[in-house]
Structure 1
Amino acid sequence: MKNESPPAAALERDIQLFTALLSEVLRAHGRKRLLVIVERLRDGFMQLRNNENPQLRARLMQRIETLDPQTLAEVIRAFSLYFGLINVAEELNAHLARMELIAAGERLWIGSFDDTVRRLKEDGLTPQQLQNLLDRLRYLPVFTAHPTEARRQVLSESFRRLFLASQDLHRLRLNDEEREDKLQEILTQIQILWKTDEVRIHKPQVSDEIRRGLYFFRESLFDAVPRVYRFLEKAIRRAYGIDCGVQVPSFIRFGSWIGGDRDGNPFVKPETTELAVRMHAELIIETYLDRVQRLNRLLSHSSTLCTPSPAFLDSLDADEEYWQEVMGQRPRRFLHEPYRRKLALMAHRLEANLARIRRRLAGGEINGLPLGYASDAAFLHDLYLIRDSLIHHGDANAAAGPLQDLIRLAETFGFHLVHLDIRQEASRHTQAVSELFTRQPGAPYYQAFNEEQRLMALSEAIAHPHPFIIDKSTLTPETRETLETFEVIARMRAEIGAPVFGQYVISMTHTARQVLEVMLLARLAGLLGLDNQGWFCTLQVSPLFETIQDLERIDQVMGTLFQDPTYRALLRASGNQQEVMLGYSDSCKDGGILASSWRLFEAQKKIMALTEEHGINCRIFHGRGGTVGRGGGPTHEAILSQPVDTVHGQIKFTEQGEVLSYRYANPETARYELTMGISGLTKVSRCLIEPVRPEHPDYLAIMDELARLGETAYRTLIYETPGFLDFFYECTPVDGIALLNIGSRPAHRQRADRSLTSIRAIPWVFGWGQARITLPAWYGIGSALEGYRSDDPERLAKLQAMYRDWPYFRALLSNTQMSLFKAEMGISRQYLKLAEEEGRAAEIFARIEAEYRRTVKQVLEVTGLESLMDETPDLRHSLARRNLYLDPLNHIQVTVLQRYRSEQDKTWQEAWLDPLLRSINAIAAGLRNTG
């Protein structure tokens, strides 16, 4: 402890405190001898990690095997709660360390606004150049529901209370009695957590996932977003001066797939999307109403002591009509308090908006209800009037507080909260369009056409004033539902507002024709078409390219689309911006991490060059997951590693699974994550205002070869090794993952199909992670580096230069190190006991282990490090700390899987299912980014 820095020492003290209090709870409220069992397993496996001892290992396994299901479940719960407590301690101490840096007045960490803006100033950017850059920024995280978020919302709320109580211990000056009270509060929270079941009894519905998504906005982001803007404004004033004239626009927006993503999820229906949109609107209107009412108590200025602006006074005159026509009275209150009078009317209008939304949520009619605000723009206009009027009579400081925060929220969230993307698989649209053509008398047989003929038929139908005669009663249920989805989009746009939806994402896009099929279906719902004024289009489509093959032909597909006159006209009518989504998950599952990463890199270069050639603005949508094998990793580094001159001020990416909790559950951490992402976006968008240096041609050629070698190694293992998929299904707990009630989406596209194409990328990555193999994140990298290098020292020197100089390659190998560190071949070997043919499983595992050792060796030699993660010691220490409890958990999981799979008696099998599901939850909590 002596050599640790003060922040590290404080963290260790908090962990020791939490561990001691957890022990008290286990002693008082756990099963008999539970604490003894937990400590002996923890200490025993810690000894094994330091020094292998077969006799000790046998004793520990015997102890595990003698425990009944209920006792094992409690042991697992204790380990799981320990991980939750570690997460709180680390998150809290990271926040406190940042606050100490800020208080010291020194230059802040890389990725902070302070450091980023100072660097821009030092590099010679003028205030006008900075303004030009800020005006073109758009930062757009998209929240998705995926079966990797294991934590229940009630647990998140308890951990939040624990975070705040622990923060008080650090930041408040407490006497002995107050400190004892605070410790008792922490103990109480841990006791409550111990007695709260972390495993859901029922599988969540989509509506539950929508509510879960709303939690992050209500509890964290409504606080974090305005503060992020304040931090950026302060950084600009420090670097450029208070009179520099730079204004920070509101460029953060949020998207969501929850309630809109129907690809492979049969539970997302048109009515589900309606529900999501209305729940979003209800939450944001509630928030505005609460803040307006608080402002009403704050802005108590008297007209006898100050004179509002003429524009504001004119608006009060106009409000008189609303009071009389809608409320049937003249305003009596606040006659000499103009802002309170204005805010009272604003609150009334918001209440009217809220009443209409709630009536619709309840399934009732809204006839006769007051209209309220016609749009979010009208609400914002009123807020601007108050702000400008306060500034007009010298009260700019009053305008800069809660009022400005509310303005930031309204500019960010509108009346829709998030842009809800709709996603559906391409074949569903083809099925619907084919059926519609078939039902038309004399219509050509669409399915018999080649691609060129189909494009022509679609273009003609889109331009036709009445393309189809449709009798919905004669259509298949699938086609009816597809048409109704587009009708819901049109209806909700009219009800809530145009920004309510983001993009229509077409997954598994293989051809240009599949995009025009969506446009035709949208045409039937009135979302686009040709009228007396020309083309109009209110739907923006984002084709999703997921497999290695699709990524390689992305320019061919999009090039065909951009040459189609109908599509170009629709694109221009919708704003001339094309969004293209890239899927990280399936491409990695398909061809391995190196081929996936590199094809994604190349795809971005291709699509940006193509859109520039056609005079189209382009935004890349990154379909990232939580793990490295699904495009995960630190956001700041991920953005910096994008290809040069491809991020033109805008970045859109998915935030999935447990990542939502770790990044956005606490406003303190949410502010940090948003700041790091925005600063990364700012840095890579300098290409908008100054020339950039392209990537080194040698580096690109080397990566071509590495990707080829890595893909060959990966495909040889996955596709050409007999019994490999049996190994995956038998030697990982993927069957348990499918039973865990942590997501509405099925784990397989087709239930009985155990093929690689059927299993979704998320359980694919989740399963390997649970067994501590983490294979999708690193397999093939060692073979590729070794194959390229051979024994040539010059080639090693080139790889080392790439790691040093090229952000893309550096991020790739940095993320690889984290995945290799999380892998534990000694523990993974224990899962071989689960194989039906243990000999064949051992042969496959030997190949995996050899590649693991090869990858570790090659990565260390290229990076010049002595051990993995030497450059990120805090993160390494954090992961190592979790191994104390992960090691016994994995051994428990192997035992429980054996019992569950071999048990013939259904009652006993159910008894073993409970500790199995809890072990999956616990290991997920320990590894943190599992899906």
Structure 2
Amino acid sequence: MRELTRTEAIDLVGRGDAEQELPEQMRADVRMLGSLLGRVLRESGSPGLYDDVERLRQATIAAYTDDSPEAFERAAAIAESFSVERADEVARAFTVYFHLVNLAEEHQRVRVLRERDGRPEKEDVTDSVAAAFVQLSAEVGDDTALKRLQSMRFHPVFTAHPTEARRRAVSTSIRRLVTLLGENDASLRGGADERRAQRRMLEEIDTLWRTAPLRAEKPTPVDEVRAIMAVFDETLYTAVPHVYRRVDDALQGPAAGGRAPVVRPFVRLGTWVGGDRDGNPFVTATVTKKAASIAAEHILLGLESSGDRIAKTLTLDADTTPPSEALTALAQRLAAADEDGAADVAKRAKGEPHKRVMLLLTRRIGATRRRDADLAYRDPVDLLADLRTVQDSLVAAGAPRQAYGHLQQLMWQVETFGFHLAELEVRQHSAVHAKVLEECRAGGPLSTQAEEVLEVFRTIAQIQRRYGPRAAGRYIVSFTQSAADLATVHELAGFAVGPGGTAPVLDVIPLFETFADLQAAPGIMAEIVSHPDFAARLDATDRRLEVMLGYSDSSKDVGPVAANLALYEAQALIAAWAQDAGIHLTLFHGRGGALGRGGGPANSAILAQPPHSVDGRFKLTEQGEVIFARYGDPAIAMRHIDQVAAAVLLASAPSIEQRNRAAAERFAPVAATMDTASRERFFSLVKNEGFAQWFATVTPMEEIGLLALGSRPARRGLSVESLEDLRAIPWVFAWSQARINLAGWFGLGTALDAVGDEDLLRSAYAEWPLFRTVIDNVGMSLAKADARIAQRYLDLGDRDDLATLVMDEMLLTQDWVIKITGGEGLLANKPVLQRAVKMRSPYVDALSLLQLRALRVLRTGESASDAPPEWQRLLLLSVSGVAAGLQNTG
């Protein structure tokens, strides 16, 4: 694509508004990458491809800035004129362009973060752990604030839900381009280094163009495990301890690094990848065991490498840095257990006792990885104790900077990741448990499904024995509807190990998903804690308990507005019950990436929670494209963790809790009106006879199921006869592809209209954090929608009544959101987000027009799988491209 002129660039981000323009460095990156892509299209594309891409690009830009039907029809006519082969190439070109724009935007974020870190005064960083600590200290005192900081937990849980539309090969190519952009920044303008960096970028973009954008077949659960490992290896292993270090530096100032840190590790990683078997028949006990093994291999390799690197720096002579008695005794024990290693180390570290011990410790870490029983550590606690002996000896010898430098970072890594890297969690549906328990009680031969369910408990026990008790043990029960659903898990574990056997240590976690289940949650929890197994576990964990809340199914059940209100109410009631019962509650938020599944900025959502529902502990699911967006780059990952942890720390400040409590009380009548009105409006759509079939017609829902996104099936049955058959992810994904995004906003316009008082709603936006979060998220959702394109999707069906209902609600919601937030359009109060959306929208429009053309062809056949393969491929290519352009799927 040719370089954008200045006029075109302004068109994309808001004509005449200088504040809305792209930052100069990012604009230069976009121009350069677009120019390189244009060159690739001319060199590697078929004859005339570049010109056709330009025609469609210019037409969609013109249609975006011109509301006339004629401008839109001109763009649509160009898309209709392409042969299917040409449309395929054009769709691929726009998809590559989105990948390049996305990486340019990510690179700009990193650039801004690094520039900010380079400034001596960072007055603008108000949402950091250090700033939150200062604010909390002012309210509760330094000692209390420090206790809360040291007991804080942020617990992201990576899931394998199929929401990452990019192939791993594409993602890897993009990461290489990010590195090259950095090299280009560091080079002299016009110099040999710049020319070399841009030549290599041209080569990489050509590779990206030639790489098949769609997976040939679905990944296996083990493939998904290995994909997640890339995030750990490239980012989290070093980024997490760097966050701790930054916070400690900010709190201790010049003394940091020369004395014991005040920060304790507050991040814990969880994973469902290889453990989530709810609706995924491909996740077996064998897969779960393999997932744990792969994760352990990665963390132990990392610890071994770090230990070796630190050992090489501890060249401290015994005369200047004498060993403590405890270190000498440790050295003797290690040498006695590893005579060959001791002989080798004695030569490499003569007169350097601390280096000698670190080398021997590193050999033990390697033995743990290789499962050498004679030398292996049984538990990460034992390794941590040995490292602490080294640290204490260094401090006693007057070498605190060596004690609290890289050695401290290694200790933080052991405390955070253990020998397991991420705490592997198992999830299964309550209905499956009930069926298997019935078989077990009957005493006859067990079905294959029952044998597999029981084998999972034996696998959990094996993982705990091998990698430590933290490696596995959380067992989540989907669709928990009674206390019996939770008690069943313990009974099944008993059947699995048999009489006299040792069952695994289990924390059984209910997952409340539907509207009715959320309302019943407090009563279920009050009942289950008296169960003997639950009571025993509460006693063993200082009365700690987790409860998981599902955002996706509740939103699909009653609509996004009523679901948000129900979730808030459930949290408030469960938190109040836990306070009264003396239970340390952790609420586990089952959020997705898209706004219709509880997505959106996590830090603002945390600060909008009910009093005592956070209390320094926040756990949530991270999935698909969100994992790589938040944790794929070290600088962005550190910033994200710092922001979320700051919100977790600050959420329990008296001022925040009082604000949320007062707002909930004041605006309770508004909430009640919105709840009733939004649910009635939502039901008028989804409970309309024939809705499910109509939905499958006017969106690419069926075709999304053909994409090889992940190992998990997209639906529970063979066909979609009702919404209950459809999983939440394709429900959200399909609406976003149709440029409607209905799952994120439908019913809000009617709800606001029912309240009707504009001044009251503006007050709610200013004073009620939950309401503000909902409105801001809907603003983003609607900004990514497009009424003209949405209408064309809705025209694919033969239900004008439903189409009119959707479009009327979209316009009503948009009008109310603009009134409440102020300004002349959506996201007027969020200029950075508005710029990002406007920059992409015309290009997304181009892909949507190509997708619509393919969809019309496919709708003439009997089913998606019977359609002409070339049109099906075009449809799937456009789905991948639109996902890249909108930067979210499900």
TM over 0.5: same fold? yes
Q: Which amino acid aligns with 1:826?
A: R
The 8 Å contact of residues 473 and 505 in structure 2, kept in 1 or not, is answered as no
1:594 aligns with 2:552: no
Q: Which amino acid aligns with 2:585?
A: C
1:834 aligns with 2:834: no
The 8 Å contact of residues 156 and 665 in structure 1, kept in 2 or not, is answered as no
Seen in structure 2, the aligned counterparts of structure 1 residues 307 and 28 have a Cα distance that, compared at 3 Å, is same
Find the partner of 1:858 among 788, 809, 816: 816
Identify the residue that residue 873 of structure 1 maps to in structure 2: 831
Find the partner of 1:287 among 297, 302, 316: 302
Identify the residue that residue 217 of structure 1 maps to in structure 2: 232
The 8 Å contact of residues 697 and 859 in structure 2, kept in 1 or not, is answered as no
C-alpha distance after superposition, 1:93-125 (max 9, x if no partner): 12212222232323133312353344345x355
Seen in structure 2, the aligned counterparts of structure 1 residues 23 and 529 have a Cα distance that, compared at 3 Å, is farther
CA distance in 2, matches of 1:627, 1:865: 25
- Superposed, 1:399-548 pairs within 5 Å as 399-439=403-443, 474-525=445-496, 538-548=505-515
CA distance in 1, matches of 2:383, 2:364: 9
CA distance in 1, matches of 2:727, 2:611: 31
SS at match of 1:902: coil
Seen in structure 2, the aligned counterparts of structure 1 residues 249 and 689 have a Cα distance that, compared at 3 Å, is farther
Deviation at residue 190 of structure 1 after TM alignment: 1.6
Deviation at residue 913 of structure 1 after TM alignment: 1.9
Q: Which amino acid aligns with 2:377?
A: Y
Seen in structure 2, the aligned counterparts of structure 1 residues 348 and 229 have a Cα distance that, compared at 3 Å, is same
Identify the residue that residue 660 of structure 1 maps to in structure 2: 627
Identify the residue that residue 177 of structure 1 maps to in structure 2: 192
The 8 Å contact of residues 595 and 707 in structure 1, kept in 2 or not, is answered as yes
Identify the residue that residue 360 of structure 1 maps to in structure 2: none
- Superposed, 1:317-466 pairs within 5 Å as 317-324=332-339, 331-356=346-371, 370-439=374-443
Deviation at residue 197 of structure 1 after TM alignment: 1.9
CA distance in 1, matches of 2:245, 2:621: 25
CA distance in 1, matches of 2:658, 2:804: 50
Q: Which amino acid aligns with 2:492?
A: L
Deviation at residue 238 of structure 1 after TM alignment: 4.8
- Superposed, 1:816-835 pairs within 5 Å as 816-835=778-797
The 8 Å contact of residues 589 and 619 in structure 2, kept in 1 or not, is answered as yes
Unaligned runs of 5+ residues in structure 1 are 357-367, 440-470, 790-794
CA distance in 1, matches of 2:175, 2:276: 29
C-alpha distance after superposition, 1:408-452 (max 9, x if no partner): 11110000101111000001111111122222xxxxxxxxxxxxx
Identify the residue that residue 102 of structure 2 maps to in structure 1: 87
Find the partner of 1:716 among 684, 708, 714: 684
CA distance in 1, matches of 2:654, 2:340: 54
CA distance in 2, matches of 1:49, 1:596: 33
Seen in structure 2, the aligned counterparts of structure 1 residues 786 and 239 have a Cα distance that, compared at 3 Å, is farther
The 8 Å contact of residues 588 and 630 in structure 1, kept in 2 or not, is answered as yes
Find the partner of 2:699 among 732, 736, 739: 732
Deviation at residue 299 of structure 1 after TM alignment: 1.8
Find the partner of 1:767 among 720, 723, 734: 734
1:699 aligns with 2:641: no
The 8 Å contact of residues 578 and 618 in structure 1, kept in 2 or not, is answered as yes
The 8 Å contact of residues 128 and 246 in structure 1, kept in 2 or not, is answered as no
The 8 Å contact of residues 608 and 660 in structure 2, kept in 1 or not, is answered as no
Seen in structure 2, the aligned counterparts of structure 1 residues 245 and 797 have a Cα distance that, compared at 3 Å, is farther
Deviation at residue 57 of structure 1 after TM alignment: 4.4
Deviation at residue 582 of structure 1 after TM alignment: 0.4
1:896 aligns with 2:854: yes
Seen in structure 2, the aligned counterparts of structure 1 residues 243 and 642 have a Cα distance that, compared at 3 Å, is farther
Identify the residue that residue 123 of structure 2 maps to in structure 1: 107
C-alpha distance after superposition, 1:439-473 (max 9, x if no partner): 2xxxxxxxxxxxxxxxxxxxxxxxxxxxxxxx7xx
TM-score in terms of structure 1 length: 0.89
1:206 aligns with 2:221: yes
Deviation at residue 824 of structure 1 after TM alignment: 0.7
Q: Which amino acid aligns with 1:524?
A: F
1:813 aligns with 2:755: no
Q: Which amino acid aligns with 2:129?
A: F
- Superposed, 1:790-809 pairs within 5 Å as 795-809=757-771
Identify the residue that residue 921 of structure 1 maps to in structure 2: 880
Identify the residue that residue 131 of structure 1 maps to in structure 2: 146
More displaced 10-residue stretch of structure 1: 765-774 or 515-524: 515-524
Find the partner of 1:611 among 578, 586, 604: 578
Q: Which amino acid aligns with 1:406?
A: L
Deviation at residue 691 of structure 1 after TM alignment: 7.7
The 8 Å contact of residues 538 and 574 in structure 1, kept in 2 or not, is answered as no
The 8 Å contact of residues 145 and 209 in structure 1, kept in 2 or not, is answered as yes
Seen in structure 2, the aligned counterparts of structure 1 residues 386 and 563 have a Cα distance that, compared at 3 Å, is closer
CA distance in 2, matches of 1:786, 1:907: 45
Identify the residue that residue 153 of structure 1 maps to in structure 2: 168
1:315 aligns with 2:286: no
The 8 Å contact of residues 508 and 546 in structure 1, kept in 2 or not, is answered as yes
- Superposed, 1:62-73 pairs within 5 Å as 62-73=77-88
Identify the residue that residue 179 of structure 2 maps to in structure 1: 164
SS at match of 1:143: strand
CA distance in 2, matches of 1:56, 1:879: 20
C-alpha distance after superposition, 1:254-278 (max 9, x if no partner): 0000011000001011111101111
Identify the residue that residue 13 of structure 2 maps to in structure 1: none
SS at match of 2:652: helix
Deviation at residue 530 of structure 1 after TM alignment: 11
CA distance in 2, matches of 1:268, 1:372: 30
CA distance in 1, matches of 2:594, 2:477: 23
Identify the residue that residue 362 of structure 1 maps to in structure 2: none
Deviation at residue 305 of structure 1 after TM alignment: 3.7
SS at match of 1:757: helix
SS at match of 1:685: coil
Q: Which amino acid aligns with 2:63?
A: L
Deviation at residue 167 of structure 1 after TM alignment: 2.2
Identify the residue that residue 677 of structure 1 maps to in structure 2: 644
Deviation at residue 823 of structure 1 after TM alignment: 1.1
Deviation at residue 672 of structure 1 after TM alignment: 1.1
Deviation at residue 392 of structure 1 after TM alignment: 2.6
C-alpha distance after superposition, 1:169-199 (max 9, x if no partner): 3345566222222222222222222222221
SS at match of 1:506: strand
The 8 Å contact of residues 552 and 603 in structure 1, kept in 2 or not, is answered as yes
CA distance in 2, matches of 1:175, 1:300: 44
Deviation at residue 912 of structure 1 after TM alignment: 1.8
Q: Which amino acid aligns with 1:23?
A: G
SS at match of 2:323: coil
Unaligned runs of 5+ residues in structure 2 are 1-5, 7-16
C-alpha distance after superposition, 1:350-407 (max 9, x if no partner): 2222223xxxxxxxxxxx7644112111222222222222333333223343322222
Deviation at residue 333 of structure 1 after TM alignment: 3.7
Seen in structure 2, the aligned counterparts of structure 1 residues 781 and 907 have a Cα distance that, compared at 3 Å, is closer
SS at match of 1:739: coil
CA distance in 1, matches of 2:375, 2:257: 43
CA distance in 2, matches of 1:134, 1:750: 47
Identify the residue that residue 708 of structure 2 maps to in structure 1: 741
